[in-house]
Amino acid sequence: MNNQNMKLLFFDIDGTLITDDSDKYYPESTKEAVIKARENGHKCFINTGRVYATVDDYIRQPGFDGYVCGCGTNIYADGKELLYVPYSKEKSLGIAELCRKYGYKGIFEHKNHVAFDGTISGGEHRKILDYFISMGVKVIDDIYSEEFVFDKLAVWHGVDSPDLNNFKEAVSKDFQCIIRSDSFVELVPHGYSKATGIKFLMDYYHVPIENVFVFGDSNNDLEMLKYVPNSIAMGVCSDEVAKVAAYMTDTVENDGIYKAMKHFGVI
């Protein structure tokens, strides 16, 4: 199969490949669809806000051709790391100290580990940290550790925080803020997104955009859903995603991935 016929498929993880709850349900139909697509000569990639360290073996089960991690800041394909965008240790500490100043709860994500400020306790971020710990991910709990550095981050600021605009302004030189809820933002380096990761691999494989399919459910998927004409929203998704996606499939647990891939003739 030449690359003009090859299709590239990109899948978000949480809320797309697996349910976005504590069960992390991964339908057998989804795994089957990925396997069949690859058998048909297409390439399947995870495209996630997670960093590489937090894409666990459970997610990788069916086998993927590569990974776009950290919202486009770290790309793997053909068994190689093709792109990595590091952030400086000095600037990492500055933002961590800013979070401490405002009492914001951050998860600081690096391709090899995750970190948090152990002096700030409780909160929604703790559930996610515990999940990463259960996976065996290396976790740093001291922002003054020699190893503390991150590539991107997630910040829980609380509802109606009076300091949020000041925080956004302070980080705006280096990061774009993706609003995930009324109490949670994701910060990604300027110039990078899930869409830039897709463009990188389209160029790498010389595949036209009409042969690209993307699957997502949340606001950090918006850039890739807007970028690719064959954009698929899961049956449970944010209002913003529902507005921009070209096609709405069923929910994760009701075989949404499999149904969409059948609909588009990929399998």
Residues with Cβ within 8 Å of 9's Cβ and at least 6 positions away in sequence, in order, are 34, 37, 42, 43, 44, 45, 212, 213, 214, 215, 261, 266
Domain of 233 in residue numbering reads as 8-84+192-263
Residue 267's pLDDT band (cuts 50, 70, 90): very high
We report the CATH number of the domain holding residue 179 as 3.30.1240.10
Output the pLDDT for position 260: 98
Q: Report the pLDDT value the prediction gives residue 253, as an integer from 0 to 100.
A: 97
Please report which confidence band the pLDDT of residue 226 belongs to, taking 50, 70 and 90 as the band edges. Answer: very high
Is residue 208 domain-shared with residue 158, that is, in the same domain? no
Task: Judge whether 163 lies within some domain.
Answer: yes
Number of domains forming the structure of the chain? 2
Q: Give Cα 250 distance to the centre of its chain.
A: 20
Q: Average pLDDT, whole number, for the chain?
A: 95
Please give the average per-residue pLDDT across 32-40, as a whole number. 98
The pLDDT, as a whole number, for residue 22 is 86
Same structural domain for residues 31 and 160?
no
pLDDT in the model for residue 49: 94
* 258 assigned to some structural domain: yes
Q: What predicted TM-score, i.e. pTM, was given to this entire model?
A: 0.93
22-50 burial, b for 16+ CB within 10 Å, e for fewer?
A: eeeebbebbbbbbebbbeeebbbbbbbbb
Which of 136, 169, 189 is at the close of a domain?
189
Average pLDDT over residues 238-262: 97
Residue 3 lies in a domain: no
Same domain, 172 and 207: no
* Close Cβ partners of 215 (under 8 Å, ≥ 6 residues apart): 9, 10, 11, 12, 16, 232, 234, 249, 257, 260
Give the per-residue pLDDT at 69. Answer: 98
The answer to which of 11-20, 113-122, 148-157 has the lowest mean pLDDT is 113-122
Q: What is the pLDDT of residue 1?
A: 44
pLDDT tens for each residue of 72-130:
999 999 999 999 999 999 999 999 999 999 999 999 999 999 999 999 877 778 888 99
Same domain, 185 and 95: yes
Find the CATH number of the domain harbouring 242.
3.40.50.1000
